[in-house]
Amino acid sequence: LRTWSLGLLVLAGALALAAGADEVDEKDVLVLTPANFDDTVKKYPKLLVEFYAPWCGHCKQLTPHYAKAATALKKAHPEVGLAKVDADAHKSLGEKFGVQGFPTLKWFVDGEASEYSGGRTEDTIVSWIKKRMGPPAKEISTKDDHDTHTVSVQVVVMGYFTDKESKDAQTFLKLAQDMDEVEFGISHAAEVHTHAGAKDNSIVLYKKFDEGKAVYDGEIKKKPLKDWILMNQLAYVTEFDQDTSSKIFGSPIKTQILFFGDKTDDKSKAAKTAFDEVAKENYGKMVGVYVNKDKNNVLEFFGVEAADVPCVFVVTSPEKGGSMKKYKGPSKEELSAGASESLKKFVTDYHAGSISPHVKSEKRPASDVDSKGVTTLVGTSFDEIVMDENKDVLVEFYAPWCGHCKQLVPIYDKLGKAFESVESVVIAKMDATANDPPEEINVQGFPTIKFFPAMKNKVPQDFEGERTLKGFKKFIKKNAKVPFELPKKKKSKKDEEDV
């Protein structure tokens, strides 16, 4: 959970699970049951089917987007149907099509099912289906068509090419085919080019926010053009939620500047205005993100309390994996004293490399070692305890909500008791949702268990063994650098129980 992408996916999932759908008009969504399923699939040559469960939070989050997409497509492509089936009530249908989680979306063409690979918002669903109804980019031949198409969704990418067979035009169309979640258009008509004020062999991204459009000035090759679209489809500041998270963290720009605010507070709104200006000035270098204080899971992820709002963080992540780094910006008090000045100084200092990464940490307990002999680590105590060159240290990185972690507790407590009298061995645990482990330790899931042998410049080893009392003891005995003997104790069958 230390990589930025994984961390935010978890948060986005939590947001979806917490969200309940308001009353939604689903008049254009077909309701399927075993009785009408086959007839409906035959009626519609192209049909998107959502397999859902009424209790599923992700399904509730999808509901309004799916309903709006159904209405939009009914007008544009009446031959396409959007349907849903309660696969919890009608398990036979879910089993027939290999449904293993909710929601699962399947795309039926002439009765043959395939996986839906598009997004989960109205625009992305509509765009994905339109790409399968005809050419990847809609051909625009009149001024009226141009004006209608460029405002049809939030973001539209237009290509203006007189020669439809040119290399640049073909590159544009190939990219349009690859980018399911973006709406494309192409025009070969001179009058449309003139009407749009566009040069031949030019590409323009139209958007219903900020300055309204962006003109591409790079070489027409797929990779740089795709990166440009992914960057420019975002506003100067995008509010973080389930719908926008994939765009925010799918951007080629791997630095985000986040403003945690309160829409109901005047001081927060004033600071947000200053933040908007700074985000605009740094557009193309940083992705500006607004997080409202009701996004409790996001606040918790950063160690921010509601009383701390407004405040600012910068977050960076390497292009391929690696560890996320957080940099703490102006506090509530600093923003109140002078938001514009404090924000500009923070961003300048960040770019200059003069700010150290922020380490999230709980308060250190009065006693590091609990009654079971297990040492509790926090962000600020990790190096002192774990990196002690005279200690062999086993660390479990866990999450309080993790079922596997909860199952491990009784075994890990017995392990702590078993080594309680061994001075050279430390059995430790860290809540990795409330504390940041050092950046070189990549915690990808829970529980993650690592061993730090007694030596200078410790290099952690992944725990490899059975998660039983016997398995842990065997691993520590084999890998410990300091010799030790455990007190003799009669084993019980329960001690050997696996997770």
| Distance in angstroms (rounded) separating the CA atoms of residues 172 and 228 | 13
Catalytic residue among 6, 17, 24, 56: 56
Catalytic residue among 10, 113, 387, 402: 402
Q: Supply the DSSP string of 182-213, one letter for each residue.
A: SEEEEE--HHHHHHHT--TTEEEEEESSTTSE
Nearest Cα residue to 433 out of 423, 418, 420, 443: 443
Nearest Cα residue to 49 out of 88, 13, 80: 80
Structure tokens at 224: 């740089």
Nearest Cα residue to 325 out of 353, 297, 300: 353
Catalytic residue among 1, 16, 53, 59: 59
Percent helix, strand and coil across the chain, each to the nearest 5: 35, 20, 45
Contacts of 143 (CB under 8 A, 6+ apart): 191, 192, 195
Establish whether the linkage from the previous residue to 310 is cis, with ω within 30° of 0. yes
Structure tokens at 381: 């105590």
Catalytic residue among 405, 408, 426, 428: 405
Catalytic (active site) residue 405: yes
User: Which strand (E) or helix (H) includes residue 461?
Assistant: strand 461-462
Beta bridge partner(s), residue 85? 32, 51
Catalytic (active site) residue 59: yes
Decide: helix, strand or coil at residue 276: helix
Contacts of 390 (CB under 8 A, 6+ apart): 424, 454, 482
Residues annotated as part of the active site? 56, 59, 402, 405
